[in-house]
A = this chain, B = another copy of it.
């Protein structure tokens, strides 16, 4: 299960906007530099966020991007979906569209459970939470377990 560069970049760009405040706007170039993201690549991602209604843009001298809604009303899951498609997919199709036979039949509810558990986190945590470094308690308790940081 891999999270693509697009998704990662999109979230980080949105976090910069969240940190800047709902009414200040940032230029793509400034975000790119702050987060070490290739500028033109980021422009494409910001275009997706705009078309997805998460961000509004302004051209010209005092232009830039800002969040379309308050940062505490935008869950991380929304950013990832808009920039990169479905949160979780198996072979490119979403879990409910799969079908398995024989001893693999229970694989479907298993993938559903995995997706539900991913959603529980990414759907609950908002841009404001991460930007302010104030993750919800249940997420923190997951991340605080030293076991969770070990490799295999």
Contact across chains for B145 and A116 when beta carbons are under 8 A apart: yes
Contact with B along A107-150 (1 / 0, CB 8 A): 10111111111111110010001110111000110110101110
Q: Which residues does chain B contribute within 8 Å of A19, judged by CB atoms?
A: 102-103
A2-B1, A140-B109, A143-B109 are contacts. A114–B104 as well, Cβ < 8 Å? no
A12-B100, A35-B104 are contacts. A109–B121 as well, Cβ < 8 Å? no
Contact across chains for B112 and A122 when beta carbons are under 8 A apart: no
Cα distance A29–B147 in the bound complex, in angstroms: 40
Cα distance A101–B33 in the bound complex, in angstroms: 11
Q: Which residues does chain B contribute within 8 Å of A130, judged by CB atoms?
A: 103-104, 106-107, 110
The 9 closest A-B pairs by CB, nearest first: A19-B103, A109-B143, A113-B142, A116-B148, A103-B131, A15-B103, A113-B143, A117-B117, A3-B90
